[in-house]
Structure 1
Amino acid sequence: MENILIGLGIFSAVTFVLSLLLLPWFIARIPTDYFTRPRDSDPWQVLLQPRALLRNLLGLPVLLAGIAMLVLPGQGILTIMIALGIMSFPGKFALEKWLISRKGVLQAVNWIRQKSHHSPLEVP
């Protein structure tokens, strides 16, 4: 039991440091018009492509870390948004729009973008 708690503490510290280091980099890479440009691809067809499978395999640990950060130290909601940006699945865009519309999330994202000399995100 003590080893599990030590492991969780180490995991928490590592995810906290990684979120502080990587989150601004990921947020700065989001295109300004991401939420306003038209979407036209079929998400079910995209899932079958090898690139989408790789993106989902890479995004899953980031998503799990974001969910863990909801109760552990770290930027949980923002990390979940980054994971969703990496992954590809049906309904992804609607979920991202819902998350960015949460109180304070858009402000935090745009503040980070401003600090890295990028334009704020356009939202409908």
Structure 2
Amino acid sequence: MDSLLAAIEQWIPVDVLIHLTIISLISFIASLVLIPIILIRLPYDYFDISVPRYWMKNHHPILRIFGLIAKNLLGGAFLIAGFIMLFLPGQGILTMLIGLSFVDFPKKRLLEARIIEQPVILRTINAMRQRYKKPPLIL
């Protein structure tokens, strides 16, 4: 074990490893708190592609542009964090799903629906929603 640690220390300084560990722990705890809140607050028909979604529809166009930029940046941060959580502690798949829901790109809703329709993911989310007396997601 000491030889493994010595090999890692050759490539990555100890203080960087300590900072990465702290960031990993913080992101793990944050994901345990924030992801359930987001998934519980979603409308039950959020992933139904037959229901149109409008974001900031009745706001000034300049405010919509800034809002869309901020929303896409936040989604990108969630996607990156989710990808990192695939290798570190955290809810990587769910975090990436949240990130996908923020980012705008063609055929996004179809991709979200394909991810959500996976039985394990849908069961997990609906079980979480049931605990807080929210209706299950419909596809």
Among 37, 51, 64, the alignment partner of 1:38 is 51
Question: 1:6, 1:95 → 2: CA distance?
Answer: 37
> How far has the Cα of 1:102 moved from its partner?
2.5
Find the counterpart in structure 2 of residue 44 from structure 1. Answer: none
Structure 1: any 5+ residue segments left out of the alignment? 42-47
Normalising by structure 2, report the TM-score: 0.75
Q: Higher relative contact order at CA 8 Å, sep ≥6: structure 1 or structure 2? A: 1
Instruction: Tell me the C-alpha RMSD between the 2 structures.
Output: 1.9
Note if 1:25 corresponds to 2:37.
Answer: yes
CA distance in structure 1 between the aligned counterparts of 2:21 and 2:118, rounded to whole angstroms: 29
Query: Which one has a bigger Cα radius of gyration?
Result: 2
Contact 1:24 1:116 in 2 (8 A): no
Would you say 1:116 and 2:129 are equivalent positions? no
CA distance in 2, matches of 1:40, 1:26: 17
CA 1:107–1:89: 2 relative to 1, 3 Å: same
Number of aligned residues: 117
Query: Does 2:94 correspond to 1:78?
Result: yes
Unaligned 5+ residue runs, structure 2? 1-12, 55-63
Aligned equivalents of 2:21, 2:103: Cα separation in 1 = 27
Question: Identity of paired residues, percent?
Answer: 39
